[in-house]
A and B are shown apart, each in its own frame.
Chain A
Amino acid sequence: MRLKRKDILTIEELAGDEIELILSTAESLKEVSEREIKKVPTLRGRTIINLFYEASTRTRTSFEIAAKRMSADAINISASSSSVVKGETLKDTARNIEAMNPDCIVLRHSSSGAPEMLAKLVKCSVINAGDGSHEHPSQALLDLLTVKQRFGKIQGLKVAIIGDILHSRVARSNIYGFTKLGAEVSVAGPPTMMPSKIEKTGCRAFNRIEDAIKDADVIMMLRIQLERQKTGLFPTVREYSRLFGLDSKKLENAKKPAPEGFNRGDVVILHPGPVNRGIEISSDVADGKYSLILEQVKNGVAVRMALFYLLMGGARE
């Protein structure tokens, strides 16, 4: 089995067995980060450009560490310190980067669909590191890996995603990913943050977080984008926090014994970061025993190493 693609743009376009291949490759690569010499020579001489048009610590660092652990050369470009501030278009930036012959471009952009446009323009591989409110495939893959490692498999799990479903690329990628691997996905959030016809994606929508998390094995809390607060999607942060924030009291409803055939029972809590403590998730829950937030970050490096390996480990067509 090989990954027969030039680019990783969305989870929507990946088949279930492609996702499984990425996850099993990531599982093998996790060991490299635990060595004393955290580096393998696999991608020597390959050049990876991290092109970030939006602020990011976790994702950019994770892609950079992943590239370096595979011995590829990683170059970071952030929009604020590049010719973008001089008015260069994405198209021109792409052509100029392409002229320097990289093997892969990792793109984070505020416009949905930007990575797809870039992928059509350049011959090298393109990885979407988050585009607007569209998709964030590497985040969904690391979430899938984290859950799979904890429960042993994804098929049959109940997953609740809570927050701004409409604007969240993390939610969109995860809905596709978990559904493709056979989990049941529920979503909950304020009506202004719920896409119309959400049921068409195969998940169940709830108005109350309590209903969505009742039988959940996995609870994924989304970051509330405080910058959107002024746009009137919800009245006050305090109200949002009271109704949709996860605290230990709401969590009481979610605990349940292990379903048959799974490694463990207790619910697990994911958050893509950065965490707004006390808003979408209380501090005691974010740091508590059900939280896998730091495990997610750890798996992020392995998943991105796997993506680099699978995109660049074979011969060019």
Chain B
Amino acid sequence: MIKNILDEKGVERALTRIAHEIIEKNKGLEDVVFLGIPTRGVHIAKRLRDIFKAIEGVILPVGSVDATLYRDDIGMKHDQPVLKEMEIPVSIENKKIVIVDDVLFTGRTIRAAMNVIMDFGRPGSIQLAVLIDRGHRELPIRPDYVGKNVPTSTQEKVKVHLKETDGVDEVIVEADNEA
């Protein structure tokens, strides 16, 4: 069974709201740097950049943080995880870092991403923006900005589709076939 959580308009509204919350919380956009988690987190970060360009007229730096090498399940899964792009575009020293991801689940990826960032310097602060928070945290991590809270069972799969990668903007929840 497939449930539609957000359509194209819904994704757009959620990102616009997140953008305004980021400006409000940081009292502007000075020293803000976006680091997306590949693959879709980077695309969402770039969309936020476009929104800021439209509403505030500034272009913020966007990079990508691949947390694969810092994962806590290296050597436990059968396959070696594939490495993705890693790009920190500016010095992060004393910057306000906003980590951007599509779905927040256990929080383990975010923990790994924060460790990557710390290895590049000492940011002033780290915040977290996600399009979907589906719950089931296994670490004490909470998002600062959420597009939509979606209560799920662990059996379900949350899929974010974006035009850049999937040709369409939508968020769906799939019941696991075996459940």
B is a partner of A: yes
User: B-contacting residues of A (Cβ < 8 Å)?
Assistant: 1-3, 24-25, 28-29, 31-32, 35-37, 39-43, 46, 309-310, 312-316
A303 to chain B, nearest CB (A): 14
Do residues A1 and B115 form an inter-chain contact, with CB atoms below 8 A?
no
Extra inter-chain contacts (11) besides given A25-B83, A29-B83, CB under 8 Å: A1-B82, A28-B66, A32-B69, A41-B69, A43-B74, A46-B75, A313-B74, A313-B75, A314-B77, A314-B78, A316-B75
Do residues B80 and A28 form an inter-chain contact, with CB atoms below 8 A?
no
B84 in the interface, Cβ–Cβ < 8 Å? Answer: yes
Do residues B75 and A314 form an inter-chain contact, with CB atoms below 8 A?
yes
In the bound complex, residues from chain A placing their C-beta under 8 Å from that of B84 are 28
Do residues B85 and A36 form an inter-chain contact, with CB atoms below 8 A?
no
Do residues A41 and B66 form an inter-chain contact, with CB atoms below 8 A?
no
Known: A313-B74, A314-B78. A42 touches B121 (CB 8 A): no
User: A-contacting residues of B (Cβ < 8 Å)?
Assistant: 66, 69-70, 74-86, 115, 119-121
Do residues A41 and B86 form an inter-chain contact, with CB atoms below 8 A?
no
Do residues A28 and B70 form an inter-chain contact, with CB atoms below 8 A?
no
B115 to chain A, nearest CB (A): 7
In the bound complex, residues from chain B placing their C-beta under 8 Å from that of A3 are 80
Do residues A309 and B86 form an inter-chain contact, with CB atoms below 8 A?
no
In the bound complex, residues from chain B placing their C-beta under 8 Å from that of A39 are 119
Do residues B83 and A36 form an inter-chain contact, with CB atoms below 8 A?
no
Question: Which 9 pairs, one residue from A and one from B, show the smallest C-beta to C-beta distance?
Answer: A313-B80, A28-B83, A40-B69, A2-B79, A314-B80, A42-B69, A37-B119, A31-B86, A315-B78
Known: A28-B84, A36-B121. A42 touches B70 (CB 8 A): yes
**Cα distance A29–B74 in the bound complex, in angstroms:** 16
Residue of A nearest to B87 (CB): A31
**Cα distance A313–B79 in the bound complex, in angstroms:** 8
Of B70, B77, B80, B115, the contact of A309 (CB 8 Å cutoff): B80
28 A–B contact pairs at CB < 8 A? A2-B78, A2-B79, A2-B80, A3-B80, A24-B83, A25-B83, A28-B83, A28-B84, A29-B83, A36-B120, A37-B119, A39-B119, A40-B69, A40-B70, A40-B119, A41-B70, A41-B115, A42-B69, A309-B69, A309-B80, A309-B83, A313-B74, A313-B80, A313-B81, A314-B75, A314-B79, A315-B76, A315-B77
